Amino acid sequence: MNEVTELAKEACGLIAVHMGKQTAQLYQDFYKDKDVRTILLSIEELLSEVIGNQRAKSELTPLISKYNLQ
């Protein structure tokens, strides 16, 4: 599995937890042709709207570290 596919899968897992599986599937399709940075910025913005900025950053910290996106 390449880096983009893996990140998209992890991001969609977070989306499913907070917004449901159908929404996660929509984003899975959207992320197919995106790069790692775009996916991360998208999920950060989306989660910030749903669960708040601090909690979103906290939940995304492992992904940011894993993909060296400081």
Identity of residue 11: A
pLDDT for residue 68? 83
The C-alpha atoms of residue 11 and residue 60 are separated, in whole angstroms, by 9
What are the start-end ranges of the H helices in the chain? Answer: 3-19, 21-31, 36-51, 53-66
| Higher-pLDDT residue of 67, 14 | 14
How confident is the model over 37-68, as pLDDT tens digits?
A: 999 999 999 999 999 999 999 999 999 998 88
Calculate mean pLDDT across residues 7-27.
97
How many angstroms separate the Cα of 43 from the Cα of each of 16, 25, 47, 54, 66? Answer: 12, 13, 6, 13, 15
pLDDT for residue 20? 98
pLDDT of 3 strictly over 80: yes
